[in-house]
Structure 1
Amino acid sequence: MRSLLPLLMAALVAVTAFPDGADAVWTPIANPPGTLLVKQVGNFTVIVYSNAAPRRHRPLQLVTVVRGETQPVGNGVTDYRLVLAVNNTDTGSTAMYQCVVRGKPGSRATTWVLRSFALYTQAA
């Protein structure tokens, strides 16, 4: 039983040091439309969402990243919460969406995860 104590302490430190976003703070991105990484994350998000359902392709295209925030997850992984202006290329209409994407800058696209994508409604 004594040999488990260091392992349990290490697990407790890992959970405390790298919370899963519950207590972490969202930090605003200074110039989201002018940041290459943020534009790439926005494009990735729209492409993944557009092709999420093989039988129901959505003809969406990123117009711009309106605003964004980041939140560290741990081990260089970051959550990106973005508000995107997205154009429907079939109808020509533009709508605002909020998404959360998790990934590690500089890593492969397969390690990035689209966690949410929904119509953006501003809080009153």
Structure 2
Amino acid sequence: MRSLLPLLVAALVAVTAFPDGADAVWTPIANPGTLLVKQVGNFAVIVYSNAGPRKHRPLQLVAVVGGDTQPVGNGVTDYRLVLAVNNTDTGSTAMYQCVVRGKPGSRATTWVLRSSRYIRRRHS
């Protein structure tokens, strides 16, 4: 039992020192029109569009309206974005907020859509 104590203490220190982004600060994205931010937004729309097991949602990214980033650790970042999304069947546009986690420059399989929610219909 005595030999496990240093491992338990090390694990507790690691969890305390490197929380899962809980205390990190969200920083506004200065230019939501950059290629990286658009790619993150497009990823979110594609994943959300195909999330329903029975029905594909015909959605297309119109623009990233705004957002924030938050470092998670090891180069991984959370992106909280507000997206203008077009329904290609109806032609209507709505606003969605999503949170995507990923590491720029990594494979698409390492990215995750953590949440997505409808905000409102967009009026033009």
2:77 aligned partner, one-letter code:
T
Deviation at 1:3, TM superposition (A): 3.1
Which shifted more, 81-90 or 8-17?
8-17
CA deviation map 1:12-35 (0-9, x unaligned)? 3322232123222111111012x1
Structure 2 portions without partners, runs of 5+: none
- Which residue of the partner structure matches residue 118 of structure 1? 117
- Which residue of the partner structure matches residue 12 of structure 2? 12
- Is 2:65–2:83's contact at 8 Å kept on the other side of the alignment? yes
- Which residue of the partner structure matches residue 23 of structure 1? 23
Deviation at 1:106, TM superposition (A): 0.9
Does 2:98 match 1:103? no
2:54 aligned partner, one-letter code:
R
- Is 2:64–2:83's contact at 8 Å kept on the other side of the alignment? yes
Structure 1 portions without partners, runs of 5+: none
Alpha-carbon distance in 1 for matches of 2:18, 2:119:
28
Does 2:3 match 1:3? yes
- Which residue of the partner structure matches residue 81 of structure 2? 82
Alpha-carbon distance in 2 for matches of 1:13, 1:77:
20
Alpha-carbon distance in 2 for matches of 1:111, 1:99:
17
Alpha-carbon distance in 2 for matches of 1:10, 1:94:
50
Alpha-carbon distance in 1 for matches of 2:13, 2:51:
36
Deviation at 1:4, TM superposition (A): 3.0
CA deviation map 1:66-86 (0-9, x unaligned)? 111111111111111000000
- Which residue of the partner structure matches residue 91 of structure 2? 92
State, as a whole percentage, how many aligned pairs show the same letter: 89
Find runs of 4+ consecutive structure 1 residues off by over 6 angstroms. Answer: none
Q: How many residues align?
A: 120
Q: CA RMSD in A?
A: 1.5
- Which residue of the partner structure matches residue 58 of structure 1? 57
Output the TM-score relative to the length of structure 2: 0.88
Which shifted more, 43-52 or 23-32?
23-32
